[in-house]
Each structure stands twice: as C-alpha cells, then as structure tokens.
C-alpha cells in the first residue's frame, strides 16, 4: 500500500509530504495506482519548481517507493495552491482505490 503522510500547520498549509510504499495493484510497470500517484506527486513538485520561486528540499529513493518533500514556504501562495491541488488529486485516487493508497493528515 502507498501511504502519504501530509503535515499541515494550524492554517491548513502543507509543510511536509512523504509518499512511501507500493500499491501492489498490479505487477511492476503495469500498476496504474503507483503510476497515477507518482505522476501527481512528480508533476506537482515540478510545477512548484518551475512556476514558483520555491526550491523545496526533496529526498527520494532511486528505485521508487519513497519521496519526501519539505521546506516549502507556507507564505508562498502559488506553491501552496499547487500542493493543495496535489492533495485533491491524491484524495481522488484514495476515494477510488482505498485498498491501495492511504492519506494520513498530521
């Protein structure tokens, strides 16, 4: 199962996101849940880097299964909007595939 741990501050802004694990929906290379979650996460991070002044701190494993983004300025409205949009997309995946992806808000 993919777990996504999302840390929010008191104003509901995203401060930290960790995606960990594999969906195991299908074999490697055919797993639409892993592909969808990865596309949402990587697309969002690329949008933050490409469209805002943010340069977030990122940690990941080369073989997949772990990605951590942190140090996004909570005062950067554009970056926060992208992160909120990312959460909406991940929530949609969770709604449809609860057995394979779980979002945890902290």
Q: Which residues are catalytic?
A: 22, 34
Largest CA distance in the chain: 41
The bridge status of strand 57-60 relative to strand 101-105 is unpaired
Instruction: Write the pLDDT tens digit of every residue in 35-94.
Output: 999 999 999 999 999 999 999 999 999 878 999 999 899 999 999 999 999 999 999 999
Q: List the chain domain ranges.
A: 2-105
> Residue 62: what pLDDT?
86
Ramachandran sector of residue 104 (left: φ over 0; alpha: ψ -120 to 50; beta: rest): beta
Note whether 18 and 30 are within 8 A (CB). Answer: no
Checking if the pLDDT of 29 tops 90, the result is no
- What CATH number does the domain located at 2-105 have? 3.30.70.1490
């Amino acid at each position: 199962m993919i777990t996504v741990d999302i840390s929010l501050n008191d104003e509901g802004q995203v401060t930290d996101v960790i995606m960990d694990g594999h969906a195991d929906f299908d074999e490697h290379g055919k797993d639409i849940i892993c592909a969808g979650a990865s596309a949402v996460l990587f697309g969002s991070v690329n949008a933050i880097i490409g469209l805002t002044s943010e340069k977030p701190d990122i940690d990941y494993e080369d073989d997949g299964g772990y990605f951590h983004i942190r140090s996004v300025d909570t005062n950067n409205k554009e970056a926060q909007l992208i992160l909120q949009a990312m959460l909406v997309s991940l929530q949609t995946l969770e709604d449809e595939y609860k057995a394979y992806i779980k979002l945890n808000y902290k």
